[in-house]
Amino acid sequence: MTLPSSGQITLNQIHVEAGGTSGSQAAINDSDIRGLIGKNTTEQKAFNEWYGASAASGTVSFLGRSSTTTNQFGNGNRTLSSGTKLVVVVHIGLFAGTANNGIQATNVFCGGTAMTKAVGSGGHYMTSGIGGTASIWYLETSQSGTTLINGTTNGTGSGPTFAYTYEISGYNSATPYATAFTHNQGSPALSDAISVNGQNGGVSIIAGACTGPGTLTVSNGATIGAQDSATYSQFFVAAKQGISGGSQFYTVTKTTNTQTNSVFSLNAVSFG
């Protein structure tokens, strides 16, 4: 049961929500209690930070992807479930040009309703001018059935672009718990890592681009929903549900075409 959103809240209530037995010994710095709100042992804590917290686990489903070989948004229909849910769309584009001048989504719509941008990377490239951009968008909606995912883009790069769609249920908040972005533009390698804070029982979505064709793996139990490869780059989305509280660390590794180091541009968002 979700904890109260206002008024009095007790350590016993928090302990029970975290899976403890009512009336048993507990401390605010216990790992299960901290995990409800993603706090570490050294951070200061106040009881009102547990308002609305829940140990209920969010679930995430990959609904599919659409693409285009141009620099336009890859419009496509997705089948949404009934009831209220979070729809998350990841837009990724290839570019061949100058730094930070890639194809980026400027607006994304779910069934005609504007989505909110959670995080976006801009463009990152190698000396050849090849690279990619990524952004993650979200919307809480009760739309169901066949639903158009579409958008607009800007930038002078070339295609392709991809739009990947996820659906999340069982969440506590319709806004992101945390976001993160990283790149290794100055130090190409065969892998790169990103960390994003999470709430116990929440969902992480990780996405990005990597220069050089091939395949990728993602660590920490994240499942790749889709992966696409172009002549100069590869793109992926991955998700993990039932995460624990605190920092979630994901390493993305290039497993083919390993004779050439790559620039990674990674984005992540978590919902609790």
Q: What is the pLDDT of residues 79-115, one digit of tens each?
A: 999 999 999 999 998 766 555 556 789 999 999 999 9
- Widest CA span in the chain: 64
**Tokens at residue 127, please?**
């000396």
Give the span between the Cα atoms of 37 and 116, in whole angstroms.
23
**Tokens at residue 84, please?**
């209220």
- Can you spell out the DSSP letters for 5-55? SSS---HHHHHHHTTPPTTS---TTSHHHHHTTT--TTS---GGGGTT---
Query: pTM of the full predicted structure?
Result: 0.82
Give the span between the Cα atoms of 238 and 153, in whole angstroms.
23
Question: Which residues sit opposite 193 in a β-bridge?
Answer: 251
Q: What is the pLDDT of residues 175-203, one digit of tens each?
A: 998 999 998 888 889 999 999 998 778 89
pLDDT averaged per 10 residues, the chain (length 272): 83 86 91 78 87 81 94 94 97 68 86 96 60 89 98 80 95 90 90 91 92 90 93 90 88 91 91 87
Question: What is the share, in percent, of the chain residues with pLDDT greater than 70?
Answer: 91
